[in-house]
Structures are given as structure tokens and as C-alpha cells.
Structure 1
């Protein structure tokens, strides 16, 4: 590279000819060859867990060969113009029957690209390979003096597309997993060079140590001293017994109050340690942050804070950059889930499995050889049911994972897993007997009930919970009740920010424990992760699973007679706009339980209707609605295009498009920050463009989601101002009340929120 450096530039005397990185102080440089070999070795170590070490090594050794170009050296050494350095490696790998690795290398900065068409001129993988064929990228041929590329060995299972869709899906999935190994290794190696030190992550204990800790903790549960504890210990025993089975797909069907939180962890840790090849971590995915926070805290108490990574948007790791600080180390671990026990959201897990962006994909290789616990499994969105089952099955089939579906209302996924070759094995020895033993409520249909009559019934109760399907009805009922008395009256919806709801929930629990008057009108947000114990519950008709979840808030501790603990199921006589999904679920529930349509004093056998409900719901949805974004077919295409260089096969997968489309939480709402004394500093820093990570997490706990029509209404009266491109702050503090939260009485889409 003689003559390529400008006169007057200052570099260490022993600087290599081809530079990959320069330290921030300019005192150290890293050669391209050194960086490539380090990344290749680390990536192959990551991929060894699923038999693809050779493929990950090939991706790592090729990913930055574009840095052997003079154009890139001008960029890094003399602040020259930006240059494409990732297409080079993708083009070279396409020559070695390793076309799928071309996706990984091409996307190692910007994310996995779409495959595209042979006519593309850029952006897609084939477009970029076309550019390489036209010599439209800088010459990188000098790499041959330092790096040797070759065809990687075959992985443990085939990643070459077979003649069926399942084989093609496995190919696309393997591509994403190898991509994860590459981008995580690239990030970690670059970070180590820039910091002149390796990462100090969490120093977690082995799963064997954690297993022993939970076993020691559970010994205090024995011998059981009450009939409820006897049942809980029985379930714990079932979890221990089942844990010695071979990896696969399991279910844990256990009602509220059965102790399944500890049972799940007992099964997971013992199962992981009992295998001939011990598994590496436990990942618990939960739909609600309220349950995550509760479970993670309990796990930390027993397992130790260093061993439990709580990963969701509002968890505060702190701002410290001191490697000795646990929060700092956990924040780093959240980037790639490098911790023994991970407690996270369904969104983080499932969206990552179909992501294309590097930040989301880094963690994927660390999911291999894990026990994956899906708590409240019925909350897997129906519109993504088939892609979720497909990805979970792939993890079990080829990546050494076990999956546990845990809920009181199993969503009947046996048939879907059977299509993927898996029998779902039940952990509880006798789920029906367990449900009967812990049955603590009686369900009764009240037929159609108007708000006025419902309000009168609630006023006649000393303690009662009423759950409805829209925020609008919750507000209307609350107002009717408040006209009579606000004594012990509460309103809970997502029109209150999370910390506000937490405060109200604590107040409600205190009143319930003290036996004082307490009447709560709420939406479905109280149906999971909120440990209420009311003597009577009213529930607007919805899916059977929702009715059972509502029943879990009634006589929760079993201290009252079952016959006197009634869940009143009613059909709102007043008209409220509710989501089409809620209407469909209610209709399916009524079809399997016709008695829901009329008033009856007889007992409704709600729990018995759960299997029939889910089977009919899936049939009503049809194949298309169980994969609403057509994800599985798009990731299972059998139309292999040919490399423009040598005709080797490159399957065309729309990685980028699928990553954008696969969103468990649909967009369409806007975060509105509610100002208060506690977040004033964060708001001011946001206005000044100095928002920190901690500020973002803090503000998320004071945020209400609203729809566009409400946003426009507030903006029209000058009640809000933009805080960022997509976030707003409430200026009119009178619009936020302590009893109801954000006070917007409007027609429109606000019914879509709980």
C-alpha cells in the first residue's frame, strides 16, 4: 500500500499496511488480518453449539475483506468518503457454495438484506452482488496476500435448501443464527480493541449451582402446612419428575395459585442440568412487564442478582460505566443475553427470532441450548401463531432447546407442534385434578346488562372487581359510580401511566387486606400479573381464556366458600366500540357456551370449555389469519436464484421486509409523557437533546399511549408539544387526573387499549 498515506499523518511506527480500526486516542491501530481472524474464531466458537462453527468462521474471515481496498484505507486513515466494505466478502463467499453466508456478510452493519432479483442495482443482496460483478465496488484483491477463503465444512444439519418448504425455512433460520454469531463477535472484538480490554460481563454461576440454590429454597415448602400448599408441593414434585426427560416441547397446565412460577424454574434448571450435554441458560418470556418485574425479583432473591438478567424497555440498569457496577454489566449482558437466567418479554423473544437488524440479532446464538419458558402462553398473538410455533420448533429441532408452554388456559397448540414433528408433553401429572382441586369460584351468566344496572349491582357490593373490554366503558361506569360515592372506588386502565397504576394497585391491595370497601372498574390489564383477591368479579363477555383469568382474581387464596365466590359474566347492553379481535373471541366463546347469551343462575363450566374454545377460534381464524403477514411462506421460498458470478444457488429470502413486518405490538399509537416533579430533569434534557438511556427508561414509566385522533385533539387545543420525532409531552396538566389518568372523553379508537 505504498504511497497511500498522505504526508503529515501520524501513526505508530509499526502500523500495519491495512488498518481495520484506530483507537480513539490515535495511539493504537488494528490490522484487518488480525481483526478478521479474531472475529472468525469467536464467531465459530459461538456457532459450535449448533454445529455450524465452520460456517461462522467463513463468515468471520470474509466479513471485512473490503477493508483491503485503498478506498477504505483512505476513509479510515485520512477521513475520506464512506465506502462499501461489506459487499466484497459477500461476493467472495458466493463463489464457494456458501451463498447463504453472503447475506450475513453483506448485512453485518446494516442488517440482513432482502434477497432481491437478478435485475436489482443495489440495496438487496443480488443487487450488491451485481455491483461486485460489474466491478462497481473498490478493488479488494489484496486480501489474497493475507487471507485464504475456502468452502466451509457442512454443518451438523443441512443448510442447503431441500425440496420442501421446511428445509428452506431451516436454511433461512440458520442464516439468521450464523448472522448472530458474526455480528456479536464483530461487536465484541471491536469493542475489546477500542477499550484495550475484553468485556467484563456478568460473572454468573453455573446452572448446576443455581439448581442447587432453588432446591435448597424449595425445601422450606415441605412439609406443606395447608391444603393449598399441599397442592403446590405436588405440582413442584411433578416438575422435578418431568425434568429428567429428553429435550422437546412441554406444557405446564396449572391454574392460578398453583405455584407454577417456582415450578417452572425448578423444571428448567433441573432439566438443563440433567441432559448428557448440559444446557446453557434459562429464558423466561412473559407478555407483561408487571409479571416480569415480579418474577425477576423473586428469582434474584433466590439465585442472586448476578445471575438474573431482566430485559425490557423500562428496566433501569443505571448510568454507570464502571465495570465493577452490576447494573453496567447487566446492561452489556442485555445486548446479547449473556447471562444464566433471562427474564424478558414475548416481544423481545419472538421479534428477535425474525429480526434483520444487528442489534436485535446479536442475542440469537445465545438462545441455542436453552430452556425457553413461555409463561401465559395463551398470550402468543393469534395472528403470529404459526410463525411463533415454527421458530420454536426450529430451536428444538436443530438448536438443542426445550420449550415449555405454561398457562392455566392452554391454547391447544398440540396440533401445530405435531405438524413440526413434536409431541407436547404435559408436566403436571393430572392437570384436570389440579384444576378441580384449586377451583375456587363459580361462573354465572347474567345475560345482557346495561351500565345503569351494572353500576347498581357494584354499588351493592362491599368489595368487587368489574372488568370490561374498552376504556370508554370503564370510564363510563366509573363516572356513574362516582356520582353516588368515591369511597373505596378505583379506575384502572392504560389511560394511567405505569407508575400511577402501580400506586393504585398497591392501594387496592391494602384495602382488600384490611377488609375495607373497595370497588374497582378496570380493563383486561388486571387479568395477569395482578394478584387481586376479590369476593366477587364481574366480567364482560370475552374469550374463554379471559374469563378464566378474571376468575383468578376472585377468591384467589381460597379463603371463602366456592359457592359464594361468583364471577358474573355479562354482555354489555350499551353499545361500545371494541376491537374486532375481542368481538370475535366473544362470539367464539358464546358458540361453545351458548348459555353465555342468557341470564342463568346455573353454574357455567368455563374451564371445561377451554380446549373447544381455542380449537374453534383457530378454525374461525383460518390458515391465513394464523400467519397474517405471510411470514412462514416468505421465509420458506423454494425459488433459488443463481449467483451472477458463478451460478451457485442463493435462495431469495426477504429478511429485511419480514423483520419490519413481524411486530407483535402494532404501530399506530403515540407515546405521551405525563410530566411530574420526578421526571422534570429528564424532560428538560430531552428538550435539550441530551436524553440519556436512564432518562428514556424513566420517561417510559410515565407514558400513556394514545391514538392519532386523540393526539390531534390535544394538539388542537395546545395541550401537547413534541419531545422527539414520535414522542409528545402533555402541557395541560389539568388533563391528567389522579383518579382516571388522562382525561379525554372522545369517540374513537381509544377502545383498542386495555
Structure 2
């Protein structure tokens, strides 16, 4: 026994990870200390009440690596097995001290958050014998890192609600994951990653300079300046919930950002997060923000919309090198930039995920300003959980929210639908009601054709012929198959095929932006260039053009859809109020709502909302759609009574069933997987990554690689992904990195990803 004690004293070099590329091993005591310190640093900025639990979660997370079995494994003296699993022991140490938050966070720091019953089985069951194995590990731990307290304090505010407990665990988990991955990455690279901090006052000045450079002449520009100034005037109010109700074309993009930056400057908030609908073209707003706020590409504005698939560990098996098994795990996006532009899918699933790669960025939402652009597109089946989490973020984590749209939804509390809705005084309008109504009346620039009768339908061929007679015209349809069919018929109906364009989610972000053209200086031949130079331009698009895409057509067709979608499409018509007759008098643009002969609709709320819209619009004065903002209050109030607003997510949150919640809280029902497509620079980026030399102990892919690649990604439905796999049209980016890359020949210059359906003209010589 004495000789064993001597050996124990001599062998004090416990490892967290193997040697990096420079031959330096990662000492366990240093890893635990710095992960705890970094997690505490993050909590200090996010919510100081979490400081103690974050620090000890970081120090204890790899307690199990003090086991001789794990050290032998790292030294390549034994194989991986249950005996080399490690996360359970630190979790057990926290659990024994009645510290449930750290126990959940530590136990899941590789495999993801467990459901409560599964965690109890893990900690109290016979598989790991944690109760008897933890004390000798703590002896080694305390010898290197000091005494562990008898109890690790949870924040007092979690006593107020079971949902506060659940969200606290998520926030603590995020702090731990980010700290652990960053410290591991620093070991591999030999340096710590530094992120730029938000200089809200400086960025606001850049935005002001941009605004002042724009013309203030004319009624439209005068109204935009008035809205912008109103946003600045209200920015000093206490953090909370704000609504910005402005008609399309009123300058919401810049005005909302002005409020956010001024609000952040006044209250020392950390970042601005702009959330755009998953059906929107995110790249336009991101490009505009980058041009104004980040002209030197310093990483001030980060665009994030494509999720990299990072496999989770089913158990706790780990490779000798952390970068051998899941190399992308350490490079996933963590939103450590001053301005983040992301999608509803990314933001919402971050709030309810159980996986490490998705949860990692959650703590960076705390003490931020979150702008929901086109907030009416929030998924109704998640509304009650979402509103509850928004309230948690506001009350305990210092986050402000701006709900921005032309069609403000009714998020009022309702006992039979929105039980988590807002009280009448909980949301503060940035524009007073009388100002908002006046703005809507004065910004109306379109005239609607009468709503079609129930039996009045339109064939695609007839529609294509009508569009061919217009030099500039937009048609928005509900599904990609309709966009393909109408695009092909329109190409056959005009002599100038270059004037016909297609936009859909089958195209990557960079491709869509190349088709649209830059907002300020569009390239010749693009949609925006043709529109501004009065050249023929006929565009067929799915719904993604509705939210925030700055185009201006004199005539717009819209397949019957939800009421807010119709209004958003109308916002692409006569946007700048430049239409005149032959005498130079201003005239409105023309908006036509039609029933397609084949009226396929996406299932769920989209179909329900379209039916409700048809009922409400039948016999109604169509002009109210663009002049009466209160109409949408009534519309959404009725809609939320017809569709589910929870799906038992709140019930599972109370039970601390994190994995069940993650399965229920999906924004899109169908699973999708992001694939890199062979468009533009993506071909060279992929080649560079694949040809990069392998360096032991160092990852072959970085966060910069992932940020560059996401603009060349398309989200494929599971069935399409499987079909492409069977056709050998997809292969992994790297042998041990399952990021799918589409082979050349499967991506169309006009239509994006094509599998079975190809245009007839492709087969003509």
C-alpha cells in the first residue's frame, strides 16, 4: 500500500487530451481550471447569478479523467470501453451535493442533455458505480485544484417557476460546452480565439452616416426618416419587449437596427441578433449590415443559417484526439460576434435543443437585443413555449426583444390558445398607434384586384401567357414544384429567355444573391439591375422573397396564401412609389391574388391560414390589407384558436425531459440536412479543405471554413438526401466529417438542386 502511495505522488501528470501539433500535452488540472474560469467569465456577462455553478461545472466536468483507466487509454495502453467513460463522475459529484444544474450540464457535455429519469439512472445505477468511484477521484482533484465545497449554489430565481429551473440548466449547459470546446480548441491551435466586442455607439454612428447619405426628399423618404427617428427616441426605455409595426417599404431594416444599437449602447448590452424567417432571403439583410457596419470584414457581422451536422456521442466514448471523431464539433458557430444575422430555425432550435452543437451558442443570447424580422412567421405550434422562454430571457438574462413586421400578430394572453401570451402593457410599441395608422395610410402604393370567386381558378399556362405580356412582373407561388412548372412555361412563352428568373430554397444563398444582384450596385443582367434600368424582368419565386427582399415590380401575382403572406408579397409591388401614367401622375401598382388550377399547399398551419384568409377576404374591401394594421390583430387572434400552440412541450419542460422537448420543438416538421453545392467559390473551398495536409492533434476544418461554406449550402429534405446518396451524387467533405457535398452535374444554373425533374430545354440541342 505504501509503495502505491509513493507511486501516486510521483505520477502527478494527469492528462485531459493528448499532445497537440507542437507536441505539448493538455494537462487535466489546467483544462479543468481554465474551463471553470472561462465558464465563469461567460456567466459574469450573461447572468452573474450563475457564476458559482458555472465555475464548478467547468472544474468538475472532466473529473472522470482522473480515473487510471482513462489515463491508460490516453496513453494508448488500453482500448476505449465503458471503463474509459468520464462525464458521469463529475455529474455524480455535483448531484451528491444537491447541485442539479451542474449535474445535468456535466453529464451531457458530450452526449447532450439527458432526460431527468435517464440522468438518475446514469448517476444512481450500477453501470458506473459512481457513488463508490467518485471519492478517490475527488481526492486527486482536490490535491490539484483545491477543496470542493459541500454545496454548489444554484441561483435563487429558479425557485419561482419550473420553467426557470429548466432554462437555467440549458443556460449553464451552454456556458460549459462553449468554455470546454474553446479551451480544447486553444490547446490544439496553440492560441485562444478572440472575438470582437460590440461598439454599439460606433456602429450606430456608421448607421447614422448611411441614413444621412440617403435622400430625405419626397413623402416616402420623409416617412422613413420619421420612423428612424422614432426608433432612436424610444431606445433609452428599460429593456423588455418592443413592437415595431411598419408597412413594407417603410425602412424597418435600418430603423430596427438603429433602435437595437442605441438600446444596446444605453444599457451596455453585448450584441444584436437579427432573426429572419427561414423562408426569407437572409443574405440580403446580412449583406446590407456587413456593408454598413463591417466594411473591412472584421467579423463584426456574422451570418448563420445552415446547420452543420455534428454527430453526438450515444454514450461517452471519446477518441484519443478530440479532433479525430467529430472534428466539426469544436468549430461550430457560437455567436461570439457583435451582430448576428440568423434564421428562425437556428434561433428557435437553440432555445429547445439538447445537442451540444446547437446549445453551445445559447448563452450568447443573454444580454442581447433580439430583432425578430417578420415576427408573424414564428411557428404557431411553438408559440406558448417560445413566449415563455422569451420572458425567461427578459426577466433573468437581460435580453430585449423587438417584434418587427407590417402584419403584427396578436400575442395577447388567451386562456384557450395563448396561455403564455403577453399582458396588454407588456409589449411597448415603438410607434404610437395613431402614428402607425397614419404611416400605413400614407405608404399604401398598390391596388388589389377583386378577390377571386371560389370557382375561379387559373392554369399555369394561362398565367405564363399573361406574365409574358408584362415587361416587369413577379409571381409568388406556394411550393417549389409550382415555381418550376411556371418558370418553364414562362420561358417557353417569351422570346427573351434571359428576362425570366427563378428563386427558391433549392438554390444556395450565394446563388440567390447573384440572381438578385447587390442592393446598392447590382451587376448587369441581375434582377435588380433589370428593374432599375427598365429592362424586361419576369420572376417566379416561392415564399422566400416575401420577407425583407428589396425588389420593386409594377405588377405582382400571388397564389392564394395566408393573409400575411399576401401582404408581404404586395410589399414587392411599387415599393418606391415611382409608378406614373403617361401624364406623369402617380398610379398604384397592381396586385392580383389568384387560385391556381392545381392548388397544392404546404400542410399544417399554412393550409389552415390560407383557408381562414379565403373566408375573411371573401367580399371584403381588399384595400384594408395595406391600410388597416388592426386587421391582422383579428386575423391572428382567430388563427391561433384554430391551430395548436404548444404540443405538450411545456409539460415536458416541467419534467426536465430535455430530449423529448428537442424532438417536439422542431420548427420544420420534415427533417432536413444541409449539403454544400457546387456553385461559385464553393468548388475551390471544398478542394482546399480536402487537399489540406493532415497535422496530428489539429483539426482539418475550422470555424472560418464553416462560415465560408454555409453560403453555399442547401437544406435537403431527408427523402431527397437519401435519393442523392443512392445515386452516388453526394459524398462527405472529408472521410471522418459527414458534411455532404453535392457532386457537379446535380446543380442547375437557374433552378439549384435538381434530382429527377429537369427542364425540357436541357435535353434540346
**Is the shorter-chain TM-score for this pair beyond 0.5, marking a shared fold?**
yes
Aligned length: 690
Question: Match of 1:644?
Answer: none
In 2: Cα distance, 1:236 partner to 1:383 partner: 33
Cα distance change, pair 705–298 in 1 and its aligned pair in 2 (3 A): closer
In 2: Cα distance, 1:467 partner to 1:654 partner: 41
Please tell me whether residue 286 in structure 1 is matched to residue 276 in structure 2: yes
- Three-state SS of the structure 2 residue aligned to 1:252 is strand
Please tell me whether residue 111 in structure 1 is matched to residue 122 in structure 2: no
- Three-state SS of the structure 1 residue aligned to 2:249 is coil
In 2: Cα distance, 1:118 partner to 1:723 partner: 34
In 2: Cα distance, 1:496 partner to 1:443 partner: 31
| Residue 375 of structure 1: how far off its partner (Å) | 1.3
In 2: Cα distance, 1:438 partner to 1:581 partner: 29
Question: Match of 1:423?
Answer: 426
Question: Match of 1:635?
Answer: 653
Question: Match of 1:589?
Answer: 613
Cα distance change, pair 606–593 in 1 and its aligned pair in 2 (3 A): farther
For structure 1, the 5+ residue unaligned runs are: 8-12, 317-330, 638-652, 747-754
| Residue 398 of structure 1: how far off its partner (Å) | 0.6
- Cα RMSD of the aligned pairs, angstroms, is 3.9
- For the Cα contact (< 8 Å) 1:69–1:141, is it kept in 2? no
Cα distance change, pair 709–227 in 1 and its aligned pair in 2 (3 A): same
Q: 1:539-618, aligned counterparts within 5 Å?
A: 539-560=558-579, 564-576=588-600, 578-595=602-619, 603=623, 605=625, 608=628, 609-618=631-640
- Out of 525, 532, 535, the residue aligned to residue 544 of structure 2 is 525
In 1: Cα distance, 2:610 partner to 2:666 partner: 24
- For the Cα contact (< 8 Å) 2:502–2:750, is it kept in 1? no
Cα distance change, pair 307–244 in 1 and its aligned pair in 2 (3 A): farther
- Out of 482, 488, 504, the residue aligned to residue 515 of structure 2 is 504
Cα distance change, pair 571–606 in 1 and its aligned pair in 2 (3 A): farther
Instruction: Using the TM superposition, name which of 668-677 and 41-50 deviates more.
Output: 668-677
Q: 1:19-418, aligned counterparts within 5 Å?
A: 19-21=15-17, 23-24=19-20, 28=24, 31-49=27-45, 50=47, 51-82=49-80, 83-116=84-117, 120=121, 122=122, 127=125, 131-133=129-131, 135=133, 141-146=139-144, 147-152=146-151, 154=153, 156-160=155-159, 167-197=161-191, 199-204=192-197, 206-220=199-213, 224-275=216-267, 278-288=268-278, 291-304=281-294, 305-306=297-298, 308-313=300-305, 335-415=333-413, 416=418
- For the Cα contact (< 8 Å) 2:284–2:513, is it kept in 1? no
- For the Cα contact (< 8 Å) 1:55–1:101, is it kept in 2? yes
- For the Cα contact (< 8 Å) 1:4–1:74, is it kept in 2? no
- For the Cα contact (< 8 Å) 1:468–1:524, is it kept in 2? yes
Instruction: Using the TM superposition, name which of 387-396 and 572-581 deviates more.
Output: 572-581
In 1: Cα distance, 2:109 partner to 2:728 partner: 43
In 2: Cα distance, 1:91 partner to 1:684 partner: 46
- For the Cα contact (< 8 Å) 1:66–1:140, is it kept in 2? no
| Residue 395 of structure 1: how far off its partner (Å) | 0.3
TM-score (norm 2): 0.80
In 1: Cα distance, 2:193 partner to 2:480 partner: 46
| Residue 129 of structure 1: how far off its partner (Å) | 9.0
Cα distance change, pair 3–207 in 1 and its aligned pair in 2 (3 A): farther
Please tell me whether residue 458 in structure 1 is matched to residue 462 in structure 2: no
- Three-state SS of the structure 2 residue aligned to 1:482 is helix
In 2: Cα distance, 1:744 partner to 1:180 partner: 42
In 2: Cα distance, 1:706 partner to 1:64 partner: 37
Question: Match of 2:697?
Answer: none
What per-residue deviation string (whole Å, max 9, x for no partner) do you get for residues 592-647 of structure 1?
Answer: 22237xxx9x74545533222211111100xxx2223x32221112xxxxxxxxxx
For structure 2, the 5+ residue unaligned runs are: 309-328, 518-525, 581-585, 694-699, 759-765
In 2: Cα distance, 1:256 partner to 1:702 partner: 29
Cα distance change, pair 577–88 in 1 and its aligned pair in 2 (3 A): closer
Instruction: Using the TM superposition, name which of 534-543 and 295-304 deviates more.
Output: 295-304
Cα distance change, pair 215–418 in 1 and its aligned pair in 2 (3 A): farther
TM-score (norm 1): 0.81
In 1: Cα distance, 2:68 partner to 2:129 partner: 18
- Three-state SS of the structure 2 residue aligned to 1:97 is coil
Please tell me whether residue 437 in structure 1 is matched to residue 427 in structure 2: no
Please tell me whether residue 471 in structure 1 is matched to residue 480 in structure 2: yes
| Residue 570 of structure 1: how far off its partner (Å) | 1.5
- For the Cα contact (< 8 Å) 1:210–1:303, is it kept in 2? yes
- Out of 723, 742, 745, the residue aligned to residue 754 of structure 2 is 742
Please tell me whether residue 449 in structure 1 is matched to residue 457 in structure 2: yes
- Three-state SS of the structure 1 residue aligned to 2:483 is helix
In 2: Cα distance, 1:427 partner to 1:56 partner: 36
In 1: Cα distance, 2:472 partner to 2:365 partner: 45
